[in-house]
A and B are shown apart, each in its own frame.
Chain A
Amino acid sequence: MDDDILQEFLAESWENLSRLDNEIVRLEKEPKNADLLASIFRTIHTIKGTCGFIGLTGLGGVAHAAENVLGQMRIQTLAATPTSISVVLEAIDEIKTLLQALEATGQEPRRDNTTLIAKLNDLAQGNAAATAGTGRVGADAETPNGGAPAHALTVERVPPVTVTPLVAAASSERQPSGTEIREEAEHTHPAAHDSGTGTIGSTEKKSVADLSIRVNVNVLDSLMNLVGELVLTRNQLLQLARGDDESKYAAPITHLNRVTTDLQEGVMKTRMQPIGIAWSKLPRMVRDLSQITGKQINLVMSGADTELDRTVLDAIKDPLTHMVRNSADHGIEPLDVRRATGKPEIGTVRLNAFHEGGHVIICIEDDGAGIARDHVLRKAIETGLVSEADAANLSDAQVCSFIFHAGLSTAKEVSSVSGRGVGMDVVKTAIERIGGTVDLSSTPGQGTIIRIKIPLTLAIISALVVESGGELFAIPQLGIVELVRLHAEERHKIERIHDQKVFRLRDRLLPLVHLNRLLGLPDGDSDHGDVNIVVVQVGEDRFGLIVSAVYDTEEIVVKPVGRLLKDVKLYQGTTILGDGRVIMILDAAAIITRFGGRTTAASDAPKLRDPDAVDNRNTTSLLLFDAGEQTMAVPLSLVARLEEFPRNRLEQAGDRLLVQYRGDLLPLLNLKGTDSSLSGVDLQSVIVFSEGSQSLGLMVDAIRDIIQETLLIRRRSNRPGVLGTAVIGGRAIDVIDTQYYLGQVNPNWFSERESEHFKVLLIDNSSFFRQLATTALEVDGFIVTPVESAVVAVERIEHGDRYDVILSDLDLPMMDGYDFAEWFRLRPEGTDTPLVALTSVHCAMNEDKIFAAGYDCTLIKFNPDEVTRTINRLCQPAQNKCGAHV
């Protein structure tokens, strides 16, 4: 059993129990006091609940029986008489005895409590024979024949032990014999809780209750703030005393310095919590997940006692949960796949935490399928992260890094635990926000390892102070790789690619950013002096910040950014320096995002486009491209792929342009003003729209960028092929009407496809099918929310999520498809939303039942075209809901 959890349980239980004695005594005097009863009931209930959780069956059994009696008292079917209260007190004493033994040995003692439990149960069930004189309230009046009162049936009957350990930590091999325990128990009992027996002082071990106190977190936080102030003052003093070794203050200042450091560490320690707290919900989650998915998953956790500052702990709780869920849900293969590949049937997710040089490392490792390169690449190409041509040359690490891109993951990662979708991009952002990094490595067929590196604390960090544009800034030491100083005569080593400065650092091209220019500050650094480059790394990305001067590394106290500065994303906090100056702490991750966007826009043919990692559901990803003199845009969701073809491969057939593509002919259309000569080997950029077996290529001059923007069509256009003008990034840009061009190639192509904005809720418990269907439907432009059970679907709908159509499997765990449909049809929004049943086998016999439950139609899994057609047909009347924004 986990020692920390046990200690916490003991501390809490003692505290509650000490209160309980008084309360029960009061109860005897005021037997009708409902608040008092409720409080007593809660205490016992908590103990019972925790016992179940940590596998203390004996203790749980007693607590459960006592809880039943108290429950009866609470609903006033049993009077709180001295006799009945005595029995409860007896149970509480037994609980104490058990706790003491538990505390002394770390094991739950084996004690025979059947008599006590029977007594309690008799009481709860109104069996007067066992508890003479307790008397049930109104029992005689209600049941004149003296039998059991009717409502006694509602009382839960208690078999000897009903609590099943959730955490499989029950320790049969370490169970000492009962007599040993009893001796131990008698030994500790008097010292801790019974001062009358004269054995005080004979105990070596103090009770947990005596060794720990509960302190309000606010007290700790304000203590931490005060220590922060003290550190600042210490820094000031150190600065004043520096260079004056003769000063009579030198010795006391040195001492103060040491004491302050110790104090800082001490206070920091009080805020430290074992990481196991953030893990406590994981075993349950993995268990539930195994049930839903039918996989067998073993969650192995080690290093749960690794301590972290509570603010850091809070920050990583959700990302961790998400990643473990991901590993279990998507990493571990279904049972049959594992069997087929000769792996052990039980998949393993390993969670390990440990300290490493001022950081905490958390590894999440699974022995699942690993990340399917092809799948990620396909998705990356679809979302325009990478072009098909480049895809083949990417390293596995690069492919893995796509997982962290917005848009690539969000659609599929829907969490049943948190009840909201969190993508790996959000995970990465959350961890980088606290100065941590995430690395992912994966071996196909063998599994995936995610390694998270996070700082121990956020309150006081080590930072480098630099100057740029006449101002001072702090850069957290965590992100700094090295400092490079170029002498004036070495300036030529800074080279340029287009307008981007780069520096060759050990054969690696390091992009350079002038910090002052980034911040809009005047050019303080001249073009002649030395160049100071701070090399900063965030995840895989590395860049050089050019600053005019580099000062000391200081321990700085991070203060939050004020509300009026929150919109400047480049700062992660403010701090006060030793001399009292206020300076901003730069956020390296934010700089890279800002600057990453800039390089992408500036380079001619961006290889890796980074759609701004803003997770904003109101924005649309737009692909910007040049056609003739103009820059135009098209919603990225409509784009299948981006291609480049040598001009001489384009063919003229009649009045049509074609290119051979993937063993088929791709019809090409020319946007007015685009150069489309058919000679030469220079590449023609083509945007491919694809649909089923049909494709169309739109020839453009150049692909510019992918941006996230709220798309507002400002003005409808009369020009054919132009949908309207949108203001994108402050510029008016034409948004092309894809339907117009698609209609030119095949006029019927879009006649029944108005589907791009229908919201589809997909309920299916097979992760494989969810992926398959989601991908297929998303290609058709639907916005798909895949969930793994009807229960999650219910949660989402109750949470206020609305869908244009719901596709549901019928055979679902916990709540099946029929129940779901019946539930949904009774809801106000349930009447006009089409429901489609997905069936594995088409069976006429079932159809009546399916329609009776409320489904509009059934579909056999899985023909994407048929599904798309059906959705479009069902959604037609509701079209006004969706067509408005594009």
Chain B
Amino acid sequence: MNRTATIEHQPIARDGISQQLDYENQYVSFWLENQLLGIPVNAVQEVLNPQKIARTPLARSEVAGLLNLRGQVVTAVNLRKRMNLPPTDVPVEEHMNVVVRYAGESFSLLVDEVGDVINVSGQTMERVPSTLDAHWKAITSGVFRLEGRLFIIINVEALFSQPSN
């Protein structure tokens, strides 16, 4: 977690204290191929250690499989594939899981490493450069300039509602 240029540490827990804080400006950060990415805290259900993932033959390539989260079936999404990144040697079952709620369903994003919750209050989100890889452009909503690092925000809706290649 020391890799992040943190501005504020905040647990994901939805207790009474953090409810008073502004969720609007908070993002759960994670690493993928040395890139710091973020998802709005409101969309994140929880973060899980590596899980056992059941394969789903014939599913589109970005679907890594299904996992059992306390009796709830969660679709695991291989974010690397979705973002057109090169595959790693690490098997899918050893990735960290960022579980995201979208349209009444839970998805688990397989990421390299989970960072802190980053509060970006006082900053404005900038548009991603128009020359960005189309895979990225389609599913990102913007970028924040942190100290010495760019923080790219994933658009959850676009991630699950748009067909991938």
- Could you list which residues of chain A lie within 8 angstroms of chain B, going by C-beta atoms? 229, 232, 469, 471, 519-521, 559, 562-565, 567-568, 570-571, 574, 576, 580-584
CB distance from B50 to the nearest CB of A (A): 15
Chain A, residue nearest B71 (CB): A229
Chain B, residue nearest A580 (CB): B68
A582 and B66 contact, Cβ closer than 8 Å, known pairs A232-B71, A562-B73, A564-B160: yes
Report yes or no: A471 in contact with B103, Cβ–Cβ below 8 A.
Answer: no
**Roughly how many angstroms separate A564 CA and B75 CA in the complex, as a whole number?**
8
> Is the CB of B145 closer than 8 A to any CB of chain A?
no
Chain B, residue nearest A516 (CB): B57
**Roughly how many angstroms separate A469 CA and B56 CA in the complex, as a whole number?**
12
**In the complex, what residues of B have CB within 8 A of residue A469's CB?**
57
**Roughly how many angstroms separate A30 CA and B59 CA in the complex, as a whole number?**
63
Chain B, residue nearest A468 (CB): B57
Report yes or no: B57 in contact with A519, Cβ–Cβ below 8 A.
Answer: yes
**In the complex, what residues of A have CB within 8 A of residue B73's CB?**
559, 562, 574, 576, 582
Report yes or no: B77 in contact with A564, Cβ–Cβ below 8 A.
Answer: yes
Chain A, residue nearest B74 (CB): A562
Report yes or no: B57 in contact with A471, Cβ–Cβ below 8 A.
Answer: yes
CB distance from A674 to the nearest CB of B (A): 38
Report yes or no: B58 in contact with A564, Cβ–Cβ below 8 A.
Answer: no
Report yes or no: A565 in contact with B75, Cβ–Cβ below 8 A.
Answer: yes
Report yes or no: B63 in contact with A564, Cβ–Cβ below 8 A.
Answer: yes
> Is the CB of B105 closer than 8 A to any CB of chain A?
yes
Question: Which 7 pairs between the two chains have the least Cβ-Cβ distance?
Answer: A519-B57, A562-B75, A582-B54, A582-B66, A568-B58, A229-B71, A582-B68
Q: List 15 A-B contacts (CB under 8 A).
A: A232-B71, A471-B54, A519-B58, A559-B73, A562-B75, A564-B62, A564-B63, A564-B75, A565-B56, A574-B73, A576-B73, A581-B54, A582-B65, A582-B68, A584-B57
CB distance from A475 to the nearest CB of B (A): 15
Chain B, residue nearest A228 (CB): B71
Partner of B105, one of A520, A563, A570, A583: A563
Chain A, residue nearest B54 (CB): A582
CB distance from A470 to the nearest CB of B (A): 8
Report yes or no: A576 in contact with B68, Cβ–Cβ below 8 A.
Answer: yes
Contacts between the two chains (Cβ within 8 Å), count: 59
Partner of B58, one of A229, A520, A563, A581: A520
Partner of A562, one of B52, B57, B58, B66: B66
Tell me the B27-77 residues at the A interface (CB within 8 Å).
Answer: 52, 54-60, 62-63, 65-68, 71, 73, 75, 77
**Roughly how many angstroms separate A564 CA and B71 CA in the complex, as a whole number?**
19
Tell me the B68-96 residues at the A interface (CB within 8 Å).
Answer: 68, 71, 73, 75, 77
**In the complex, what residues of B have CB within 8 A of residue A519's CB?**
57-58
**In the complex, what residues of B have CB within 8 A of residue A581's CB?**
52, 54, 68
CB distance from B120 to the nearest CB of A (A): 29
**In the complex, what residues of B have CB within 8 A of residue A574's CB?**
66, 73
**In the complex, what residues of B have CB within 8 A of residue A564's CB?**
59-60, 62-63, 75, 77, 107, 160
**Roughly how many angstroms separate A581 CA and B51 CA in the complex, as a whole number?**
11
**In the complex, what residues of A have CB within 8 A of residue B60's CB?**
564, 567
CB distance from B77 to the nearest CB of A (A): 7
CB distance from A263 to the nearest CB of B (A): 16
CB distance from A554 to the nearest CB of B (A): 15
**In the complex, what residues of B have CB within 8 A of residue A559's CB?**
73
**In the complex, what residues of B have CB within 8 A of residue A565's CB?**
56, 59, 63, 75
**Roughly how many angstroms separate A559 CA and B55 CA in the complex, as a whole number?**
16
**Roughly how many angstroms separate A397 CA and B56 CA in the complex, as a whole number?**
38
**In the complex, what residues of A have CB within 8 A of residue B56's CB?**
565, 568, 571, 584
**Roughly how many angstroms separate A521 CA and B68 CA in the complex, as a whole number?**
22
CB distance from A225 to the nearest CB of B (A): 9
Given contacts A564-B75, A584-B66, 13 further A-B contacts (CB under 8 A): A471-B55, A519-B58, A521-B57, A564-B77, A564-B107, A571-B56, A576-B68, A576-B71, A581-B54, A582-B54, A582-B65, A582-B68, A584-B54
Report yes or no: B160 in contact with A563, Cβ–Cβ below 8 A.
Answer: yes
Scoring B57, B67, B103, B105 by chain A CB atoms within 10 A of each residue's CB, the highest score goes to B57
CB distance from A102 to the nearest CB of B (A): 43
**In the complex, what residues of A have CB within 8 A of residue B59's CB?**
564-565, 568
**In the complex, what residues of B have CB within 8 A of residue A568's CB?**
56, 58-59
**In the complex, what residues of A have CB within 8 A of residue B103's CB?**
563
Chain B, residue nearest A563 (CB): B105
A582 and B58 contact, Cβ closer than 8 Å, known pairs A559-B73, A563-B160, A564-B75: no
CB distance from B33 to the nearest CB of A (A): 22
Scoring A520, A562, A571, A583 by chain B CB atoms within 10 A of each residue's CB, the highest score goes to A562
Partner of A570, one of B54, B58, B107: B58
CB distance from A514 to the nearest CB of B (A): 13
CB distance from A492 to the nearest CB of B (A): 29
**Roughly how many angstroms separate A70 CA and B73 CA in the complex, as a whole number?**
54
Scoring A232, A469, A564, A583 by chain B CB atoms within 10 A of each residue's CB, the highest score goes to A564
Chain B, residue nearest A225 (CB): B71
**Roughly how many angstroms separate A636 CA and B98 CA in the complex, as a whole number?**
50
**Roughly how many angstroms separate A750 CA and B116 CA in the complex, as a whole number?**
73
Chain A, residue nearest B164 (CB): A564
A582 and B71 contact, Cβ closer than 8 Å, known pairs A565-B56, A568-B56: no
Chain A, residue nearest B70 (CB): A229
CB distance from B46 to the nearest CB of A (A): 17
**Roughly how many angstroms separate A582 CA and B107 CA in the complex, as a whole number?**
14
**Roughly how many angstroms separate A471 CA and B55 CA in the complex, as a whole number?**
7
**In the complex, what residues of B have CB within 8 A of residue A580's CB?**
68
Chain B, residue nearest A515 (CB): B57
Tell me the B4-27 residues at the A interface (CB within 8 Å).
Answer: none
**In the complex, what residues of A have CB within 8 A of residue B107's CB?**
562, 564
CB distance from A593 to the nearest CB of B (A): 14
CB distance from B1 to the nearest CB of A (A): 30
Scoring A565, A580, A582 by chain B CB atoms within 10 A of each residue's CB, the highest score goes to A582
**In the complex, what residues of B have CB within 8 A of residue A576's CB?**
68, 71, 73
**In the complex, what residues of A have CB within 8 A of residue B71's CB?**
229, 232, 576
**In the complex, what residues of B have CB within 8 A of residue A471's CB?**
54-55, 57
**Roughly how many angstroms separate A584 CA and B63 CA in the complex, as a whole number?**
14
**Roughly how many angstroms separate A449 CA and B42 CA in the complex, as a whole number?**
56
Chain A, residue nearest B66 (CB): A582
Chain B, residue nearest A574 (CB): B73
Chain A, residue nearest B55 (CB): A471
CB distance from B105 to the nearest CB of A (A): 6
Tell me the B101-120 residues at the A interface (CB within 8 Å).
Answer: 103, 105, 107
**In the complex, what residues of A have CB within 8 A of residue B58's CB?**
519-520, 568, 570
Chain B, residue nearest A581 (CB): B54
Chain A, residue nearest B102 (CB): A563
CB distance from A743 to the nearest CB of B (A): 43
CB distance from B73 to the nearest CB of A (A): 5
**Roughly how many angstroms separate A570 CA and B56 CA in the complex, as a whole number?**
11
**In the complex, what residues of B have CB within 8 A of residue A582's CB?**
54, 65-68, 73
Report yes or no: A562 in contact with B68, Cβ–Cβ below 8 A.
Answer: no
CB distance from B51 to the nearest CB of A (A): 10
Chain B, residue nearest A229 (CB): B71
**Roughly how many angstroms separate A521 CA and B56 CA in the complex, as a whole number?**
10
Report yes or no: B67 in contact with A562, Cβ–Cβ below 8 A.
Answer: no
CB distance from B44 to the nearest CB of A (A): 18
**In the complex, what residues of A have CB within 8 A of residue B65's CB?**
582
CB distance from B53 to the nearest CB of A (A): 8
**Roughly how many angstroms separate A521 CA and B71 CA in the complex, as a whole number?**
26
Chain B, residue nearest A565 (CB): B59
**In the complex, what residues of B have CB within 8 A of residue A563's CB?**
75, 103, 105, 160
**Roughly how many angstroms separate A519 CA and B57 CA in the complex, as a whole number?**
6
CB distance from B165 to the nearest CB of A (A): 13
CB distance from B158 to the nearest CB of A (A): 14
**Roughly how many angstroms separate A568 CA and B60 CA in the complex, as a whole number?**
8
**Roughly how many angstroms separate A519 CA and B59 CA in the complex, as a whole number?**
10
Partner of B54, one of A229, A520, A583: A583
Report yes or no: B57 in contact with A520, Cβ–Cβ below 8 A.
Answer: yes
Scoring B62, B65, B73, B160 by chain A CB atoms within 10 A of each residue's CB, the highest score goes to B73
**Roughly how many angstroms separate A563 CA and B68 CA in the complex, as a whole number?**
16
